[in-house]
Chain A
Amino acid sequence: MTDEPILQVRDLKKHYPIRKGLLNRQVGAAKAVDGISFDIERGETVGLVGESGCGKSTAATSIVRLEDPTSGEVIFNGGGRAGATRDENGYHPNDVTRFDKQELKAFRRDVQMVFQDPSSSFDPRMTVGGSVAEMLLVHGMTDKHRRRAIVEDLLERVGLSAEDYDRYPHEFSGGQKQRIALARALVLNPELVVADEPVSALDISIKAEILGLINDLQKEFGLSLLFISHDMSVIRSVCDRVAVMYLGEIVEIGDTDEIFANPQHPYTEALLSSIPEPDPRATREQIELTGTVPDPVNPPSGCRFHTRCHKVVQPDDLDLEQSVWRALITFRYQLRADDIDVEKIRENAGAEGAVREEIRTEFDLPQRVDDPGAEETLERALDRIVDDDVEGAAELLDAEFTTPCEQTHPDYTEHGDGHISACIRHSEQVRSEAPADD
């Protein structure tokens, strides 16, 4: 046994090309997964969490090579391949992205996937026992009786009975089907299981049962697990470590307890605050995330989260209240996206003179910004909007209200114990504190 991780993902990317025109030229790419790196230790459960559209599932399918990743490495050290080192060209022999057909087949015996919707992952015309036993047949177990014996035993271990072997998927409830899906994932004795939202489609009590079962099976089989979910409370109950993904990138990784107690990235904070607390007296401070995940074809520059971040950094020469600054940045992006209806605002305002006030109210801007410079810029932008020059107003704001977040792509900052986050606020702290140490 070595202490190298069972899985090492290095700078994994998956871009979906967008083609257009007669010659089918590539005009862009949806960067679903854009350079993620993390490790899974043996026997560890790592959670991958984020909103829909942040690339969690694409990451999973790229890791098990259901889809070919665009670039990057996925190094799998299980299946008796431990201890390998890079060759003279710098290639790793355990790199899944370079596996040939035979290696891939062996890899797919050692790594299994469980999907969200158990109803659509079984052949309705095949008995569930047959579906599970098929895995054994594909991987070379020709003895029919042995196959049946193994599957019957496994069905019992996931909390069903051996007689269920000959029943069909429609005879089972959602929770039972998910149990069968787990049995199918475990029948080949894999070392790593990738579970993509395995409990999201399930009812509350069944969800708890399946989570309990996953925990038990993991102990029993010594599994390593990559657990994908958008539900922070589920992640908390099964994962040892969590990686938080946003728009194709990992913004924070760390131990589950540490992430929940001490989130470092504003996105993690926002995700945590959106969990509805099952306590009617909880007075939580809610961080509202406006809008949805931006288009991965044209991700925002710099830190990809800055368009929605409640802690978006102000330039050095400004010292506004954070909510005001956030509103200004939001206003700027809404102008950019032409999300302003001047006609309507005019109508609501009634008098022509009240249009500016109405715009301020509409976009949650204060009637007067504390900083004289910023106030003047805003007033000039409002003038342009009143003159129906939204484009000009957007340009003005783009030039004047810039945040450091959009200019630099943040590097990872260490917070100790493998807890890292990618937020410019931390790297800035490092920069400003560094001279003091000298």
Chain B
Amino acid sequence: MSGTDERGEPPLLEVENLRTSFSTEAGELVAVDGVDFTVEDGETVCIVGESGSGKTVATESITRLLRSPPATITGEARYRGQDLLTMPKKELRSIRGANIAHIFQNPQEAMNHCFTVGWQIVEAIHAHEDVPKAEARERAVDLMDRVGIANASSRFDDYPHEFSGGQKQRVMIAMALVGNPDLLIADEPTTALDVTVQAQILDLLNDLQEDYGMGVLLVTHDLGVVAQIADRIVVMYAGKVMERGDVYDIFERPAHPYTQALMRCLPGKGDDTRGIAGSLPDPTDPPDGCRFAPRCEHAIGECEIGDQPEEVPVAGDHEAACLFYQQGYSTETVRDRSLEGDTARGASDD
């Protein structure tokens, strides 16, 4: 992975060999084990995987939202070339919120019930800039208006409990936009919401991304959401990256058996909806070889020795960390034509 793009500018976010561990009574728990990915300006990168695969820990490690200790974070996470992981706290603080903003799954828990919604947005503005009260209020109202809260100026003095779940998530997004961020990290932003509200919030995120030209790093396990808004996808399992590629690669030609298994979890996909047998490995004692091997239907003896296979190109930027894609193995073994046929039909009309 190169540190610069063609124009010689460092990418918006570049994560290299990120490793986050916690020491527990049962031993060292490695939640994220050497993960790389980049996010460019204006693109949406989705990290997908089951709960417990390390998605959230990875994103919270980038901006050091995880307290360290207990967490031990190593590797590099460069925001426009500056490493966030070694940067002094003060500097990090000026980037957090202003350049990189976070939104979380549960807007309920992310707000203070004792203060009005407007006050909380103003507080976020004041955390970054020293502006007069009246101006901060005005900007807060503008932001509330921008994220689609009707009659913003009169809602300014309402308390969080007077807002519905979707509206609260809109307010959280307004707070995230306070510093005009160029990277938005969204952790399951629509999981706690109703389907109809989810559609509204996804539309809003799409609009805002166009308006502000933000890069978005989205964490979710909902593949429907991913298909709708992702440009590129990183599939994580047990702290490792299993597969990466653009959205069409992943949905139409899933290469890694884990990605294929995830796709088969979708209701109505393939002949029969089935889960993935077994459960995630113990993070304090991950299995040898490929982490997914114990649950993989194609696994052979060699899959369970050594380290996780290197990511190898399947086609272009599409990479998979599976032994069968390395030289000397047949990829035919792991390809699932039924999944490919299913989606390719709509695309090529045959």
Q: How far is the CB of A319 from chain B (nearest CB, A)?
A: 29
Bound together, the chains give a CA A233 to CA B261 distance in angstroms of 18
User: What are the interface flags for B317-350 relative to A under an 8 Å C-beta threshold, 1 for contact and 0 otherwise?
Assistant: 0000000000000000000000000010011000
Provide the residues of chain B in CB contact with A334, threshold 8 Å: 150
**Contact A203 B51, beta carbon cutoff 8 Å:** yes
For this complex, into which size category does the number of interface residues on chain A fall? 35 or more
**Contact A205 B251, beta carbon cutoff 8 Å:** no
**Contact B194 A51, beta carbon cutoff 8 Å:** yes
Residue of A nearest to B269 (CB): A278
Task: List CB contacts (< 8 Å) of B119-172 with chain A.
Answer: 141, 145, 150-154, 164-166
User: What are the interface flags for A230-248 relative to B under an 8 Å C-beta threshold, 1 for contact and 0 otherwise?
Assistant: 1111101100000000000
Residue of B nearest to A270 (CB): B196
Assess whether A336 is interfacial by the CB under 8 Å rule: no
**Contact A276 B196, beta carbon cutoff 8 Å:** no
Assess whether A85 is interfacial by the CB under 8 Å rule: no
**Contact B275 A212, beta carbon cutoff 8 Å:** yes
Binds A, one of B3-11, B211-219, B224-232: B224-232
For this complex, into which size category does the number of interface residues on chain B fall? 35 or more
**Contact A237 B268, beta carbon cutoff 8 Å:** yes
Interface of B is mostly: helix
Bound together, the chains give a CA A273 to CA B230 distance in angstroms of 19
**Contact A278 B153, beta carbon cutoff 8 Å:** no
Assess whether B274 is interfacial by the CB under 8 Å rule: yes
Bound together, the chains give a CA A51 to CA B225 distance in angstroms of 18
Task: List CB contacts (< 8 Å) of A192-209 with chain B.
Answer: 203-209
**Which residue of A205, A281, A282 contacts B265 across the interface (Cβ within 8 Å)?**
A205
Assess whether B247 is interfacial by the CB under 8 Å rule: yes
**Contact A233 B202, beta carbon cutoff 8 Å:** no
Residue of A nearest to B346 (CB): A281
> A212-B274, A279-B346, A280-B247 in contact; A204/B223 too (CB < 8 A)?
yes
**Contact B251 A278, beta carbon cutoff 8 Å:** yes
Bound together, the chains give a CA A286 to CA B247 distance in angstroms of 20
**Contact A209 B196, beta carbon cutoff 8 Å:** no
> A51-B194, A208-B267, A234-B267 in contact; A276/B222 too (CB < 8 A)?
yes
> A206-B275, A212-B273 in contact; A341/B267 too (CB < 8 A)?
no
**Contact B275 A208, beta carbon cutoff 8 Å:** yes
Q: How far is the CB of B321 from chain A (nearest CB, A)?
A: 19
Bound together, the chains give a CA A255 to CA B252 distance in angstroms of 31
Assess whether A339 is interfacial by the CB under 8 Å rule: yes
User: What are the interface flags for B46-75 relative to A under an 8 Å C-beta threshold, 1 for contact and 0 otherwise?
Assistant: 000011000000000000000000000000
Bound together, the chains give a CA A344 to CA B153 distance in angstroms of 8
Provide the residues of chain A in CB contact with B93, threshold 8 Å: none
Q: How far is the CB of B127 from chain A (nearest CB, A)?
A: 25
**Contact A230 B194, beta carbon cutoff 8 Å:** yes
- How many contacts between A and B, using CB within 8 angstroms? 130
Provide the residues of chain A in CB contact with B152, threshold 8 Å: 341, 344
Assess whether A211 is interfacial by the CB under 8 Å rule: yes
> A280-B247, A292-B197 in contact; A233/B275 too (CB < 8 A)?
no
Provide the residues of chain B in CB contact with A52, threshold 8 Å: 165, 194
**Contact A276 B198, beta carbon cutoff 8 Å:** yes
Provide the residues of chain B in CB contact with A230, threshold 8 Å: 194-195
> A233-B224, A237-B267 in contact; A279/B194 too (CB < 8 A)?
no
> A204-B222, A281-B248, A288-B200 in contact; A344/B265 too (CB < 8 A)?
no
Assess whether A320 is interfacial by the CB under 8 Å rule: no
Assess whether A274 is interfacial by the CB under 8 Å rule: yes
Task: List CB contacts (< 8 Å) of B259-295 with chain A.
Answer: 261-269, 272-276, 279
> A203-B50, A204-B50, A237-B267 in contact; A277/B154 too (CB < 8 A)?
no
**Which residue of A51, A210, A237, A277 contacts B196 across the interface (Cβ within 8 Å)?**
A51
Assess whether B297 is interfacial by the CB under 8 Å rule: no
Bound together, the chains give a CA A205 to CA B279 distance in angstroms of 10
Assess whether A185 is interfacial by the CB under 8 Å rule: no
Provide the residues of chain A in CB contact with B164, threshold 8 Å: 292
> A230-B194, A292-B166 in contact; A276/B275 too (CB < 8 A)?
no
Bound together, the chains give a CA A234 to CA B266 distance in angstroms of 9
Residue of A nearest to B190 (CB): A276
Provide the residues of chain A in CB contact with B263, threshold 8 Å: 278
Residue of A nearest to B266 (CB): A278
Assess whether A318 is interfacial by the CB under 8 Å rule: no
**Contact A343 B248, beta carbon cutoff 8 Å:** no
Residue of B nearest to A206 (CB): B275
Q: How far is the CB of A109 from chain B (nearest CB, A)?
A: 31
Assess whether B199 is interfacial by the CB under 8 Å rule: yes
Q: How far is the CB of B165 from chain A (nearest CB, A)?
A: 8
**Contact B227 A277, beta carbon cutoff 8 Å:** yes
A-B contact pairs, 15 of them (CB 8 A): A51-B195, A203-B221, A207-B275, A209-B275, A236-B268, A237-B273, A274-B199, A275-B195, A277-B224, A278-B226, A278-B227, A278-B266, A279-B346, A286-B203, A288-B203
5 new A-B contacts at CB < 8 Å, known A233-B224, A271-B195:
A205-B261, A208-B276, A282-B227, A282-B346, A344-B153
The 6 closest A-B pairs by CB, nearest first: A209-B275, A276-B224, A237-B267, A208-B265, A208-B275, A274-B199
Which residues of A does B touch, CB under 8 Å?
A: 51-52, 173, 203-212, 230-234, 236-237, 270-271, 273-282, 286, 288-289, 292, 334, 338-341, 343-344
